[in-house]
Amino acid sequence: MSEQTRQVPVPTGRSARPAHRELARALPWLLPTLTLILTIVLFPAAYMVWTSSRDVSQAGVDRGPAGLDNYRALLQLPALGRVFGNTVIWVAGVVLVTLLVSLALAQFLNHAFPGRRLVRLAVIVPWAASVVMTSTVFYYALDPFYGIFNQFLVDLGILDAGFGFTRRPVPAFVVSMLVAVFVSLPFTTYTILAGLQMVSDDVIEAARMDGAGAGRIYRTIVLPILRPAIAVAVLINIINVFNSLPILRTMTGSIPGYDADTTTTLIFKYIQQDRQVDLASALSVVNFLIVLAVIGIYLAALRPMRDE
């Protein structure tokens, strides 16, 4: 975007034509992507916005225009403050913890040791499994009665009896965040690991010869090379974590009220429990604008699409 603003102020005289021609030259490379997006994504997205301005019955029948009523109804939800607060904690917490753990893990997996290949394969498994199933098995294993993780904690003497991790808003929310970190780690770790392959051993060796410590080498040589990989990984994590439904839906689904909800799970509750698709669509539009703003700020601040 900032690149664009750099380009825009030169539309006068002869430089206007090159800009125009540049775009024409770029278009064929972008066309397949644009075509796919315009033919598949445009309609459902527009339909969502349209639905948010309609009065849709619980059965799904469109009863006519509703103007901004759905948006107004959103503001009247008393739990809205808590839900927004939860969303901020959820996204920031999960993304940051994921990044820190991934940096360490990628560094570790970059060392040679016996069985490294197998460990790397093990780390990928949470990514290969569907998030729904991972959440379900955590939920099952954390059940206070027949959960194996709970039983394990009891057998170790850490707990006296099974604890209802998934039965109260705060513990359930924290456990959900851990699961979210767990399923985000493989992708993040691998992106960083792939980035680490671009770090040349010679450079590190040279720096070491010059007497640089491990911490300094990491900060001044490794991190800058990892920058694009980290930037993209964080970007993707922000979007994914923000839009993540299955984890909270599974882990906190039986908990009443909205104390463990984010805006995304609230959309789901509007659909599933209140049968209000129109309201859910309105919240989705708001949700979309929020992510767009967050990502916009992120991109403007970090400029990961800067070349070189």
Give the number of residues in contact with another protein, rule: CB under 8 A.
139
CB-wise, 8 or 301, nearer to another protein? 8
Tell which positions 105-164 bind another protein, by CB under 8 A.
105, 108, 111-134, 136-138, 140-141, 143-149, 151-152, 161, 164
Instruction: State the binding string over 65-84 for another protein (x if CB under 8 A, else -).
Output: --------x-----------
Q: How far is the CB of 215 from another protein (least distance, A)?
A: 19
Closer residue to another protein (CB): 14 or 29: 29
Residues within window 242-301 making contact with another protein, judged by CB under 8 A: 242-243, 245, 253-257, 264, 267-269, 271-277, 280-281, 284, 287-288, 291-292, 295-296, 299
Q: How far is the CB of 100 from another protein (least distance, A)?
A: 15
Kindly tell me which of 174 and 239 has the beta carbon lying closer to another protein: 239
What would the DSSP string read from start to end of the chain? -HHHHHHTT--SGGGHHHHHHHHHHHHHHHHHHHHHIIIIIHHHHHHHHHHTTEEE-TTS-EEEE-TTHHHHHHHT-TTHHHHHHHHHHHHHHHHHHHHHHHHHHHHHHHS--TTHHHHHHHHHHHHHS-HHHHHHHHHHHT-TTT-HHHHHHHHTTS-SS---TTTSHHHHHHHHHHHHHHHHHHHHHHHHHHHHTTS-HHHHHHHHHTT--HHHHIIIIIHHHHHHHHHHHHHHHHHHHHT--HHHHHHSTTS-SSTT--HHHHHHHHHHTT--HHHHHHHHHHHHHHHHHHHHHHHHHH-TT---
> Which residues within the stretch 20-59 sit at the binding site for another protein (CB under 8 A)?
22-23, 25-26, 28-34, 36-37, 39-41, 43-48, 51, 56-59
CB of 96 to another protein, least distance (A): 19
- In the complex with another protein, the residue whose CB is nearer, 15 or 220, is 15
- Binding status of residue 223 toward another protein by CB under 8 A: no
In the region spanning residues 181 to 210, those forming contacts with another protein, defined by CB under 8 A, are 182, 185-187, 190-191, 193-195, 197-198, 200
